[in-house]
């Protein structure tokens, strides 16, 4: 918490407020009023908080100034006073370069929490979430209390709350780091999306270790070209706070980044690979089974052979190699790191495995695009002894073109397909199903349509044998179904476990 007077003094100190700046609030009226939090989201603001009104690409915070003043909010910063109702002018401060302020203001307001934490930041097209969760699992076993920030939740591991963004805005990020600090979390594993890096949302966060997973075609609607996408990712590794860079050299862009950083000799740079024995951390797969993967681990002069990792998905071996490399780069003892590997499990909704004696293995994954579904099915296929079943649907009020493409992916990689609902939102489920099934080849009969998702899952469970695998795709970590914009509780795990309980 800070007083209005303290906030004003800080803004003057960083030259946000100058004599020529348009100021209309009489801060001397109540200079010792305590501001508890700072927000960019008007829905979270109470009368004891401060609001920063930014004009974004989609939302304009200036629209909510009148509403917040009516609620008694005492401190509001705006970019442009001409965008608000004149009657509100006596209660705001205009800062023309306001977009450049939140990072420094937030870190100061919340007492620089990241200075007291060891922060690992992960970037890449795929794998960010899994790497963060594998990191949290390993670091917890190494006796750390770990804060997690990312796609499937924020919080002190393993108690996470849903997150609307992969990487939070400056204010929310610093507030969450302060919350971690108050809970004695000394270590943080966070995702750093390319959007967040480009929009400077991670500025003033004391990231010490940066991890690069891979780069593939994605987000070109925002970055326009792959080169610009790569350059956005690259910025993370240029931050002054970053001391250690951990890079996947099995990816072409990773090899390029590794070469650049090594040549510059400004930071400690470590490589990891599943196939290149010259990598700092070399982790080849020696065998695969439904139970997991057997790997060897080499790091500098250390080696350990035939380690079993009980996970689903070959690409997760690469994600775990990133974790092993990052921990060893931070001088954790080799033997201690190895002890954390045996118990790693897939994070919620990311090839998450449910098993029961004598029953088919169930795998839950967030895959909700054709490419993601194909990769998930391919990953599961190599660990499937029997038949591979795929249960999936497509969301409503979203791009229609992916629906038949997902059907083609399912037909190509699964033995049997069950088409069902996902978050249909305001679309008619029959229209969604028709779009999906139009993607199946003429004459393809290895599928069935069961519109109600619970029934679809139960049908798959009833026909699958012990050596089979059922992939439930699309929902992942979500625990709801959205129909007509009404969200009702729906957790696939509960459906599976209840079916097994009733049919034991």
- Chain CA centroid to CA 461, Å: 30
Among 481, 477, 480, CA closest to 451: 481
Phi-psi region of 256 (alpha: psi -120 to 50; beta: other; left: phi over 0): alpha
Per the CB < 8 A criterion, the answer to whether 47 and 30 are in contact is: no
Per the CB < 8 A criterion, the answer to whether 258 and 247 are in contact is: yes
- Token pair of 251 as six digits: 């990816």
Measure the CA–CA gap between 274 and 478, rounded to whole angstroms: 31
Do the annotations mark residue 292 as ligand-binding?
no
Strand partners, 294: 287, 308
- Token pair of 169 as six digits: 């805005």
Phi-psi region of 217 (alpha: psi -120 to 50; beta: other; left: phi over 0): beta
Per the CB < 8 A criterion, the answer to whether 475 and 348 are in contact is: no
Do the annotations mark residue 193 as ligand-binding?
yes
- Token pair of 136 as six digits: 């949290």
- Token pair of 115 as six digits: 């200075």
- Chain CA centroid to CA 123, Å: 10
Per the CB < 8 A criterion, the answer to whether 391 and 502 are in contact is: no
Rounded to 5 degrees, φ, ψ at 373 are -65, -40
Measure the CA–CA gap between 351 and 362, rounded to whole angstroms: 9
Do the annotations mark residue 167 as ligand-binding?
yes
Token match 């849903």: residue? 162
- Token pair of 114 as six digits: 């990241």
Do the annotations mark residue 151 as ligand-binding?
no
Do the annotations mark residue 128 as ligand-binding?
yes
Q: What angle do CA 201, 204, 208 make, to 5 degrees?
A: 105
Do the annotations mark residue 393 as ligand-binding?
no
Per the CB < 8 A criterion, the answer to whether 117 and 188 are in contact is: yes
The secondary structure of residue 17, as a DSSP letter, is S
Do the annotations mark residue 395 as ligand-binding?
no
Do the annotations mark residue 20 as ligand-binding?
no
Measure the CA–CA gap between 449 and 430, rounded to whole angstroms: 10
Do the annotations mark residue 50 as ligand-binding?
no
Per the CB < 8 A criterion, the answer to whether 189 and 218 are in contact is: no
423 cis-preceded (ω within 30 degrees of 0): no
Cβ neighbours of 314 (radius 10 Å): 15
Do the annotations mark residue 126 as ligand-binding?
yes
Per the CB < 8 A criterion, the answer to whether 409 and 373 are in contact is: yes
The DSSP secondary structure of 93-111, one letter per residue, reads: EE-TTGGGSHHHHHHHHTT
Per the CB < 8 A criterion, the answer to whether 283 and 307 are in contact is: no
Per the CB < 8 A criterion, the answer to whether 136 and 146 are in contact is: yes
Binding-site entries: 124-130, 166-167, 193, 199, 201
Binding-site entries for ATP: 124-130
């Amino acid at each position: 918490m800070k007083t209005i007077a303290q906030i004003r003094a800080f803004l003057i100190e960083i030259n946000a407020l100058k004599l020529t700046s348009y100021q209309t609030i009489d801060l001397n009226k109540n200079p010792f009023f305590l501001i508890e939090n700072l927000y960019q989201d008007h829905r979270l603001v109470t009368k004891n908080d401060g609001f920063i009104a930014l004009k974004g690409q989609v939302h304009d915070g200036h629209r909510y100034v009148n509403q917040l003043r009516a609620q008694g909010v005492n401190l509001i910063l705006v970019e442009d006073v001409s965008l608000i109702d004149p009657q509100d002018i006596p209660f705001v401060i205009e800062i023309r370069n306001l977009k450049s302020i939140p990072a420094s203001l937030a870190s100061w307001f919340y007492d620089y929490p990241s200075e007291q934490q060891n922060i690992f930041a992960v970037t890449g097209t795929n794998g960010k979430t899994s790497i963060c969760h594998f990191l949290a699992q390993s670091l917890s076993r190494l006796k750390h209390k770990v804060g997690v920030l990312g796609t499937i939740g924020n919080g002190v591991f393993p108690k996470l709350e849903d997150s609307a963004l992969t990487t939070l805005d400056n204010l929310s990020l610093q507030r969450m780091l302060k919350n971690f600090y108050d809970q004695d979390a000394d270590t943080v594993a966070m995702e750093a999306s390319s959007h967040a890096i480009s929009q400077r949302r991670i500025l003033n966060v004391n990231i010490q270790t940066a991890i690069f997973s891979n780069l593939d075609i994605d987000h070109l609607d925002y970055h326009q070209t792959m080169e610009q996408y790569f350059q956005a990712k690259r910025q993370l590794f240029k931050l002054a706070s970053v001391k250690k860079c951990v890079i996947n050299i099995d990816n072409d862009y990773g090899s390029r980044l590794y070469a650049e950083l090594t040549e510059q000799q400004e930071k400690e740079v470590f490589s990891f690979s599943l196939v290149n024995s010259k990598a700092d951390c070399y982790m080849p797969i020696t065998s695969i089974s439904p139970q997991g993967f057997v790997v060897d681990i080499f790091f500098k002069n250390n080696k350990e052979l035939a380690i079993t990792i009980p996970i689903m998905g070959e690409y997760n071996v690469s994600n775990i190699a990133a974790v092993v490399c990052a921990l060893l780069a931070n001088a954790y003892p080799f033997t201690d790191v190895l002890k954390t590997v045996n118990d790693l499990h897939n994070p919620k909704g990311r090839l998450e495995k449910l098993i029961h004696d004598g029953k088919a293995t169930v795998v839950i994954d967030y895959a909700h695009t054709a490419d993601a579904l194909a990769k998930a099915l391919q990953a599961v296929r190599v660990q499937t002894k029997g038949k591979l079943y795929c249960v999936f649907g497509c969301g409503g009020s979203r791009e229609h073109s992916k629906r038949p493409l997902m059907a083609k992916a399912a037909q190509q990689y699964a033995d049997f397909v069950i088409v069902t609902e996902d978050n249909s939102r305001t679309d008619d489920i029959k229209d969604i199903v028709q779009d999906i099934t139009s993607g199946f080849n003429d004459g393809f009969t290895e599928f069935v349509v069961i519109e109600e998702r619970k029934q679809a899952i139960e049908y798959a469970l009833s026909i699958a044998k012990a050596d089979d695998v059922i992939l439930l795709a699309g929902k992942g970590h979500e625990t709801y179904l959205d129909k007509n914009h009404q969200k009702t509780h729906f957790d696939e795990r509960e459906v599976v476990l209840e079916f097994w309980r009733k049919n034991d």
